[in-house]
Chain A
């Protein structure tokens, strides 16, 4: 049965979504985000050369499984490749979470929502790195070479409005141990005695340079990064009346993301 509904005049004024206004909001007030899109890696394992499995003379074919190749140069065996990395703007809302301790240790279980222009339609697993925001990361590094070490994350600099004026800060605190595993009572490293180049921390004062085999604790700023886990409004499209015609128009999209532990 065909269920036709009555004809309706479309000439009267009604509320239309004005995408320009929303774009203005995103471009003016949105935060800068590095958006990395995600796709499954096309790599695979060849059963003939990989598994050493003798199938009694049967002409061996590949299993067509979705497994990835552990030596794949593109994905490293993770099965995902990231592509089209670009900086966009997004309105961020509902950021919040809690610190939890489990068998895995400490985890900052945190979620956030990003509202994006319609052209920046993300999909599951896409990665967002917030370029204008920081959180504090507490690292613990083993010293394996003389005079320097590499931090586990990429430190970021924030200009703090201090009494002395705007002050760029990236590292907040460093404490040393000895090579026997004891934190030194006077183990604080003066931040004036270090230089930071990318993730490499160099110690310039021989008196406070940590020895090989010791560890240091370091607190520093990092950009929080998130992956898409949820589409609270998976479809957002509408029709906008223009020149007496109903024009299909995509609307801003929103996704929910979870903070990465790594």
Chain B
């Protein structure tokens, strides 16, 4: 399991708090709607008690709920550095596809959280780079769907996943062991002459 889901969960949590505490910045974020609706959206955000978790946690949460799940893959194209020897480190380059799953029971909350999450990842992007991410960028947002498995007091639950792609180097040092013997293949293999 990766740690990027933890990084994103805490980033979004702090991003939401940042916009809750800063109406001016919130208004800048929602510059393209009228002041009446913008004020209603800010009040809605201010009164939200958002639950955060990584996906698949065995804990029942309340809504709105944001969970983060990660799929990791690698590309041969980018593995040139990965085999051996970058500053005596073994390096694996991974692409981490992170789904920020939003579960809400009204559509306006979805609109607000969608944009606030995108903005949170933007304003804290430098912090990701500072701890070693090569990049982290928005990839896509899924269409809104009804989450049929769940029911809330407002009957229907809506879900949407916002996907970010993080590039990261996983580094590992070899055990320190001087190589002083003759070149020896695996003794169990009979060397052909």
Contacts and interface: CB of A to CB of B under 8 A. Distances in A.
B41 to A, nearest CB: 6
Given A52-B32, A105-B60, A80 B155 contact: yes
Interface size class of B (residues with CB under 8 A): 35 or more
Given A45-B37, A50-B33, A106-B60, A70 B153 contact: no
B43 to A, nearest CB: 6
A137 B155 CA distance: 20
Nearest to B63: A262
Contacts of B108: 68, 70, 77
Interface size class of A (residues with CB under 8 A): 35 or more
Contact of B41 (A38, A70, A124, A261): A70
Contacts of B109: 77
A262 B64 CA distance: 10
A38 B155 contact: yes
A175 to B, nearest CB: 14
Interface string B140-152: 0000000101111
Nearest to A111: B151
Contacts of B40: 69-71, 77
B59 A51 contact: no
A105 B53 contact: yes
B95 to A, nearest CB: 20
Contacts of B53: 105
Interface string A210-236: 000000000000000101010000000
Interface in B118-164: 147, 149-155, 157
Contacts of B169: none
B101 A101 contact: no
A229 B150 CA distance: 11
Interface of B: 32-37, 39-41, 43-44, 53, 55-63, 65, 67, 69, 99, 101, 103, 105-109, 147, 149-155, 157
